[in-house]
Amino acid sequence: MPTPPRRVVQWATGNVARQAVRAVLARPDLELVGAYAYSASKVGRDVAVLVGLDDPTGVTATDDVDALLAREPDCVIYMPLFPNIEEISHLLRNGVNIVTSSAFLTGRSLGDEAIATIEAAAQAGGATIFGSGMNPGYAQLLGGIAAGISTNIRHVKAIESVDVAMFAADDNMNDLGWGRPPDSPGHADAVRDATTVFADGVDVLAGLLGVQVDERLCTVEFALATEDLSPPGRPIAAGHVAGIDVRWEGIVDDRAVVELHQRWVMSSRIEPAWPVEHGYIIEVQAEPMVRLKLDIWPHQEDLGSMTAEDFHDIGMKVTGLPVVNAIPAVCAAEPGIRTYADLPIITGILA
């Protein structure tokens, strides 16, 4: 007999969720059975309205967690900006698997107490939690795969090198200090705190390579705008921060073995004039050496007809789809906090 589709609840209905819901509805092995909304104005409305679909889904949003649990979901797609330990633990304790893009990969950056709470809830409910996104997340999976054709692996680096002006107004940019004056006290520390989930990405990449790091180190550099800039919703004055370069390294036996390098700029009009690759790069120092470049392109043939919103949607799509596509594997996994090192290779399915 055919396997019934996995029953899925969408938790939060923001920008990434718009793409996640579309992906769920397009998969015959998944069924959308509920949606959670934080805003009272969204409660009772069809999910189609909340995520911009033309055709009703027949699923309305609610803020009643018990009502959602009564629908017996196999998995929740958990997508607020930041994880709430109490919410996550409640779902896991009730036997509901979780896939999330909410700044959660291993939980280590949340602290030992949070990890212990989440792991205990998962074991009690026999449920699994898996976090990803494009980066951190999927980029580390690419790093592990790229290293699969080499021996004597000494160092693996995952690089995100992009102009992020299209995403300037997004909430996840708020804590990075765009537009701060040069040499602003505490700015590097603030960026380090805002990007601690990349430290968990270091752990994910190291785990794929079969090691556990002793230490995770972060270095931060800034570039300044050479003229006034106007990225959407976040103006930056000349001489203020318009480029951020963040490196998280994993140390084993006093040697850096993995690195996550993020170079984000709001314009090419910056000093230093950092080169930007506009994509994702994997570099493997091994025998043989490997360099992998991932470019992401719109599916439309007529690029001239695309709007800023169309390009923004691509970023949201590559953030959300790694967790949606992981749902079947996560539902079949052993209970607890799981990463790419614990799951089979995750892919999409043919249309």
Beta pairing partners, 251: 215, 256
Q: Are residues 90 and 235 in the same domain?
A: no
Q: Are residues 89 and 183 in the same domain?
A: no
Provide the CATH number for the domain around residue 336: 3.40.50.720
Range of the domain at 280: 135-294
Which residue, among 316, 322, 351, 320, has the nearest Cα to 339 in the 3D structure? 322
Instruction: Please check whether residue 141 is in contact with residue 111, taking contact to mean a CB–CB distance below 8 angstroms.
Output: no
What phi and psi, each to the nearest 5 degrees, are found at residue 224? -110, 145
pLDDT of 301 reads 65
Own/partner pairs, 285-292, CB within 8 angstroms, 24+ separation:
285/153, 285/154, 285/155, 285/156, 286/147, 286/150, 286/151, 286/152, 286/153, 286/154, 287/150, 287/151, 287/152, 288/149, 288/150, 289/150, 290/146, 290/147, 290/149, 290/150, 292/142, 292/146
Has residue 1 been placed in a domain? no
pTM above 0.85, yes or no: yes
d(CA 290, CA 295): 16
Q: Say which residue the tokens 């992906």 belong to.
A: 23
pLDDT of 303 reads 67
Region class of 196: left (phi > 0), else alpha (psi between -120 and 50), else beta: alpha
Q: Are residues 125 and 139 in the same domain?
A: no
User: From first to last of its 351 residues, what are the pLDDT tens digits of the chain?
Assistant: 678 999 999 999 999 999 999 999 999 999 999 999 999 999 999 999 999 999 999 999 999 999 999 999 999 999 999 999 999 999 999 999 999 999 999 999 999 999 999 999 999 999 999 999 999 999 999 999 999 999 999 999 999 999 999 999 999 999 999 999 999 999 999 999 999 999 999 999 999 999 999 999 999 999 999 999 999 999 999 999 999 999 999 999 999 999 999 999 999 999 999 999 999 999 999 999 999 999 998 886 666 677 878 888 899 999 999 999 999 999 999 999 999 999 999 999 887
d(CA 36, CA 76): 10
Q: Are residues 13 and 62 in the same domain?
A: yes
Q: Are residues 169 and 283 in the same domain?
A: yes
Angle CA(166)–CA(172)–CA(177) in degrees, nearest 5?
90
Q: Are residues 229 and 115 in the same domain?
A: no
- Give the length of the chain: 351
Q: Are residues 88 and 210 in the same domain?
A: no
Which residue, among 40, 59, 39, has the nearest Cα to 49 in the 3D structure? 59
pLDDT of 306 reads 77
Which residue, among 159, 135, 146, has the nearest Cα to 247 in the 3D structure? 159
Q: Are residues 242 and 98 in the same domain?
A: no
d(CA 307, CA 325): 27
Going by C-beta distance under 8 Å and a sequence separation of 6 or more, which residues neighbour residue 343?
130, 326, 329, 330, 333
CA distances from 275 to 161, 267, 323, 328 (A): 8, 11, 31, 39
d(CA 86, CA 90): 6
Q: Are residues 178 and 281 in the same domain?
A: yes
Provide the CATH number for the domain around residue 167: 3.30.360
Instruction: Please check whether residue 118 is in contact with residue 320, taking contact to mean a CB–CB distance below 8 angstroms.
Output: no
Number of folded domains in the chain?
2
Q: Are residues 140 and 256 in the same domain?
A: yes
Q: Are residues 174 and 230 in the same domain?
A: yes
Instruction: Please check whether residue 217 is in contact with residue 251, taking contact to mean a CB–CB distance below 8 angstroms.
Output: yes
